[in-house]
Amino acid sequence: DFVQQALREFMVVSKEEAWLLLLKRYAALEVALEFPSSKNNSHRLSTASRPSAVAYWVKRARPWHMLPPINNVLDYGEDMRRWVSAFMPAWRRTPYGWPLTRIVEGGEGGEWTQARKGGANGFFIAIVACSWW
């Protein structure tokens, strides 16, 4: 039910192909993780370097239709890049910062423990934060 509501809300953000693909992959992640409960602490996305706008929204009970104050979109973008880089696997980071690499040295796969988080406190939060950007 949580994921269905989230997807309904996300669908109105954009009809861009990349956004819709993100939503499809998000749904697949939740299915693969068997829809973890928000009480499951092992599915909390790191708050290290998280933009203050995200904390603002979370502290106000996550109202879908209330955007947090974002005074400078460029600064918010940098904050988002910093946060995403912080919870992505080390193999995705590059000396030049952004964009993150998709190439896994030594083969396919790669370790995703820090980013593979489902439920209301997982990757969902990052998608919400992207939707404001």
Kindly indicate the confidence band of residue 104, based on its pLDDT and cuts at 50, 70 and 90. confident
Instruction: Assess whether pLDDT exceeds 90 at residue 111.
Output: no
Query: Largest Cα–Cα distance in the chain?
Result: 44
* pTM of structure: 0.90
Q: Which residue has the tokens 């790191």?
A: 46
DSSP notation for 15-31: --HHHHHHHHHHHHHHH
Cα distance between residue 110 and residue 104, in whole Å: 6
Tell me the pLDDT tens digit for each residue of 53-70: 999 999 999 998 889 999
Task: Say which DSSP state 115 is in.
Answer: T
Averaged over 114-127, what is the pLDDT? 95
Place of tokens 């693969």: 32
Q: Is the pLDDT of residue 21 over 90?
A: yes
CA-to-CA distance for 31 and 43, rounded, in angstroms?
Answer: 14
